[in-house]
Amino acid sequence: MTDAQGINLIVKATDFAARKHHAQRRKNMEQTPYINHPIGVAQILSSEGGITDPIVLAAAYLHDTVEDTDTAMEDIEKEFGTEVRNVVAEVTDDKTLTKAERKAMQVKKAPGKSKEAKLVKLADKLYNLRDLERATPVGWDDERKREYFLWSREVVAGCSGTNGALEAALDDIIKRNL
């Protein structure tokens, strides 16, 4: 893939995600626009993780579109190709499972994911944990927040050896909150 093709892929994924998530909000008091999340995940990968792979960055923008919008995995493949689709598929939870089952599957499947999917997962967790530090979702108490940090630590452990900078940042935030 040329640099121009890579940039085009990333910009196209950003636009697609923005259109798909346009009406969604985070569950904090400020009702932050949801699109800030995938943008933030891509930013973490790029600036903190040193990731320049357009496939990984495009997948970061798209990582919640199948789970949280009317997007099908086939739409991702048609628009962005098989490589992006595969990474998005690896980080997409099966919404037919209960929340507890989905969380357990994330822990169980983390070690077997591709490096690209692990990178997206690490940046996603880092963004979410930072968001929890900044603004706890409405209805969450300290125990639920602690449980999220504990669970995230398990998921992150399954991705160890992927990116030292992201893992160090995750270790710091997890230790600070447990």
Residues noted as catalytic: 67-68
Handedness of CA 51, 94, 130, 160 (dihedral sign): negative
Residues 105, 73 contacting (CB under 8 angstroms): no
Q: Which of 28, 53, 49, 31 is nearest to 40 (CA)?
A: 49
State how far the alpha carbon of 79 is from the alpha carbons of 89, 110, 119, 151, in Å. Answer: 14, 26, 22, 33
Name 81's Cβ contacts closer than 8 Å, sequence gap at least 6: none
